[in-house]
Chain A
Amino acid sequence: MKTLSPTFQGLTLLITFWIFASSLACVLAASRPLQGSDDSLLDRLLGESRKTLSVTFYNQADVYFHKGVTHTQPTAFQDTLFQQWGNIITPRQHVHAEGPLSAEILPWLKLAAHADPHNVDAYLVASFWAETGLNRHDLATGILKEAQRLNPADYRIALEKARMEIRTAQYEAAMNSLDHASILLAQNPLDTESDMDKAEICTFSGFILEMKGLTEKAVVNYKNVLVIFPERFYIKERMAILEAGGKPVDSAQDLLKRLTRQTAHDACKDEDENHDNSKHINHNG
């Protein structure tokens, strides 16, 4: 056999090292819990590239949710032959994967979490999909446990756990998770979303306390919500009714169910997405 060309040798070595490095990174990242610190050797070696890789995989999950249809960009012209062919070859409909197809999203979230175990969003979305898309409560719980093992200080995991427990009507457990989330949030607030999440924790806690008949404690929680978001009139009204000794029209349980019932499709509707919405289909596979 003849020797390889230098270019080919270089490319082969590059690909081999790349596969080896990614495999090693994934194995090392998953084999030991990283305690939220960025001082580990692995973090120093791979740095931001690991996070970028994780974000890429995370975004790929969104592409899979839309069955491979990516967000369209505005263009300077639209009628060239190449674009016409491209539009026929590449599907452009706004489609959602449902049912068994939802499972195809999870590998990308797993890869995202593997590449960067601190990418808590990947775990949260994965557990959400396992719970709402696949109806696999056991799987969702397992994912959150793994997330908590790797990110013990992150309040979002406890909050997601609470949401899941509310969906399955485990209100006592949900209250404990909300308390845990509240403590973690006070200790480690994030730059963004903290206020929104704090308000959500207080709202959920208020509703659960209301259900238990602890109206005064519920009102304290509602007051905390109003400190963050004074414009929330429905909380104001509810608080006023409770303080006057009345009974609100919507029960706390109904509101809790409504607030935690959101599916991925609802979340997608909220986004300003640039898909061809004229053909919005849900595929069950």
Chain B
Amino acid sequence: MRQIITVAHVVWLEMIRRKDFYILFILLSALLIWLMIFDVFGLTTVSGYIKDLGLLAVWIMGWILALNTSIRQLPQEEQRGTLFPLLAKPISRLNIILGKWLGSWSITCLALLCFYITLWLGITIKEGRFDYATLCQGFLLHCAALAIVCAMGLALSTRMNRDAAATTAYVLTGTAFLMLPKIPSMLIHTQGVAGALLLGLYYLFPHFELFDIRHRLVHDWGCAPWLTVCEILLYAVLMTSVFLILAWLSYRNRRFTRENLT
């Protein structure tokens, strides 16, 4: 466990040094300020649209941050050559994978917390309010979704270079989020091989839409039943484990040469 935390610590330090989070934070703040000063026919008390668009921005930014952070970890170590001293230490490849995932996920969650606080602040200034229990639930589920995203990004980066892994991960996660909920409807008109393929995708890919309770937050529907939330969190643990195991299987016997150094 100590080894995992040491690897994760390096990821945190790297994240603090990089500009990614700061830029996303500035973009979110700019968007919120624009939304707050947007004149809605002179009405000053409406805040639903700020919640809606703000949460959408937070989801997009969390997604970008999670993928960028997790995907660059292994290829970067390889490119810089820092992987060799790391592998020379008494640390298993499984621990490297787990440490990289923990570091990427935890720092993304921390950044996400900052985004949520900024959004809450904007809504409070606009005299709106969030149901705090639902907000905590939303944050928890959001973090769980990002755990899968980080694991997926890491798994892809074990066998691909950074750009290829990033492109593949963006396409896969984006498609999973937007397309999977529509597959049951699409299957009405799709049969044969295409139908079987869609059905396969439906069961294999992670269902990110289950982690999205923005509508509950925006339209004041209140908390989702905690039992269901716990089941979905378990599903997140399962999916994260699957991707981490895949990452480990792909990485454990991989050979590295110094010729690939840039």
Question: Which positions in A face B, CB cutoff 8 Å?
Answer: 1-2, 4-8, 11-12, 15-16, 19, 23, 64, 67-69, 73-78, 80, 82-83, 85-86, 88-91, 100, 103-104, 106-108, 110-111, 126, 130, 139, 142-143, 285
| A residues in contact with B64, CB < 8 Å | 8, 11
Please determine whether B41 and A106 come into contact, CB atoms closer than 8 angstroms.
yes
Q: Is B45 an interface residue (CB 8 A)?
A: yes
Question: Which positions in B face A, CB cutoff 8 Å?
Answer: 14, 17-20, 23-24, 27, 30-31, 34, 38-43, 45-46, 48-49, 64, 68, 72, 162-163, 166-167, 180-182, 184-185, 187-188, 202, 207, 209-210, 213, 215-216, 218-221, 224-225, 228, 231-232, 235
CB of B156 to closest CB in A, whole Å: 13
Given A104-B48, A107-B49: A76 touches B215 (CB 8 Å cut-off): no
Please determine whether B184 and A1 come into contact, CB atoms closer than 8 angstroms.
no
Please determine whether B215 and A91 come into contact, CB atoms closer than 8 angstroms.
yes
| B residues in contact with A104, CB < 8 Å | 46, 48-49
Residue of A69, A107, A126 with most chain B CB atoms under a 10 A cut-off: A107
How many contacting A-B pairs (Cβ < 8 A)?
A: 122
A interface, by DSSP: helix, strand, loop or mixed?
Answer: helix
Please determine whether A88 and B228 come into contact, CB atoms closer than 8 angstroms.
yes
CB of B155 to closest CB in A, whole Å: 18
Residue of chain B at shortest CB distance from A30: B39
Residue of chain A at shortest CB distance from B50: A107
In Å, the complex CA distance between A7 and B162 comes to 9
8 closest A-B pairs by beta carbon, nearest first, are: A76-B187, A75-B184, A104-B48, A68-B215, A107-B49, A68-B219, A73-B185, A67-B219
In Å, the complex CA distance between A83 and B185 comes to 12
Please determine whether B27 and A5 come into contact, CB atoms closer than 8 angstroms.
no
